[in-house]
Amino acid sequence: MKKNRKRIVISVLEILAVLLLFAPAYRLACGIGLKKVYSDNGISIYADDVRYKEEAKQMAETLKVQLLEVDGDYSPKISIYFCKTMTGFQIKAITMGKPLALTRANLKTTLFRPCDWAKNSIEPRKPQLLPRSLSSVLLHETLHHYEWKKLGLVRFFVKTHSENWKIEGFCEYHAASSSFPIDKGLRVFCEEADYGFVTSNEIKPEYFYFVSRLRTDYLLNFKKVSESEYWSTKYDEDQLDNEIRLALMEKRYAFAVQQ
């Protein structure tokens, strides 16, 4: 009996040790082949060339200003890695897909696919989509860290599985940017354009992000729902979409003009 208890205690300690060691080890692995180009007040940025120091500083400063608008009390402690190659990004992010960036909130990391620092943009995955500015994607990803902190581990995890549109919509709403062209998105959403455009061009994920942003904008910006109500209310998605469609068609609600 005593022996068993000792074994359980040792196992728990081992698991804790692995978890505690894993995050720094993971961050160390993410930094392979990259150089630290910015570090201040909890935000560290890594890139493949030190010549991006000035851009990284500007990016971090813009991010801090944008975060102030969301929550003045939030100061992130995160490491951001701009990968040199797509393969490097996929290996470090542990993903087979090719998203613009990927956040692992539990490990306090955000990884970016290779992007154009000079143009401050990330090229779209498909020609039907729009490029995104680095700062809008960075804000989106940093807000996932914020959601993790605000909602807590369990709620964040549950919502990413049951209400992922809220998790993504909140970030896209504040980033005020969409990969999916807004005019086209609104026409598909209001059933004035064929949904086949989305499926045949294999741009379903980007359309999902667009609709998630639209729903969040409708609730937080148009209906002035509080943030806590937004997170705690279980919306019927079909009902919500019908309500938005009607408000759009009756021109009571106009979705953000900004792309």
| Residues of the shown chain interacting with Zn ion in the complex, contacts defined by CB under 5 A | 168
Q: Mind giving me the DSSP string for 39-92? A: EETTEEEEES-GGGHHHHHHHHHHHHHHHHHH-TT----EEEEE-SSHHHHHHH
Measure the CA–CA gap between 253 and 248, rounded to whole angstroms: 5
Nearest approach, Cβ of residue 206 and Zn ion (Å)? 12
**Least distance from C-beta 140 to Zn ion, angstroms?**
6
What are the structure tokens assigned to 185, written together?
């998105």
Rg of the chain's alpha carbons, rounded to an integer? Answer: 20
Q: Token pair of 231, please?
A: 């997170």
Cβ distance 162 to 130 under 8 Å? no
Pick the closer one to Zn ion by CB: 131 or 248: 131
Two tokens, residue 103: 């956040």
Closer by beta carbon to Zn ion, 168 or else 206: 168
DSSP code of residue 125: S
Residue 101 burial class via C-beta count within 10 angstroms: exposed 0-12, middle 13-18, buried 19 and up: buried
Q: How far is the CB of 168 from Zn ion (least distance, A)?
A: 5
Taking the least distance from each CB to Zn ion, the nearer of 48 and 185 is 185
Which residues does 183 contact at the CB level (< 8 Å), separation at least 6? none
Which residue number has the CB closest to Zn ion? 168
Give the tokens for residue 227.
Answer: 């943030």
Smaller CB separation from Zn ion, 36 or 149: 149
Of 168 and 217, CB closest to Zn ion: 168
In terms of CB distance, is 39 or 95 closer to Zn ion? 95
What is the rounded distance in angstroms from the CA atom of residue 125 to the CA atom of residue 69?
30
**Closest approach of Cβ 100 to Zn ion, in Å?**
9
* Nearest distance in Å: CB 167, Zn ion: 7
The letter for the amino acid at 233 is T
Q: What are phi and psi of 116, to 5 degrees?
A: -95, 100
Considering all CA atoms of the chain, what is the largest pairwise distance in Å, rounded to the nearest integer?
Answer: 72
Q: Minimum distance between the CB of residue 18 and Zn ion, rounded to whole angstroms?
A: 27
Rounded to a whole number of angstroms, the minimum distance from the CB of residue 169 to Zn ion is 10
Q: Specify the residue, 48 or 168, whose C-beta has the smaller distance to Zn ion.
A: 168
Strands (E), 121-247: 121-122, 132-133
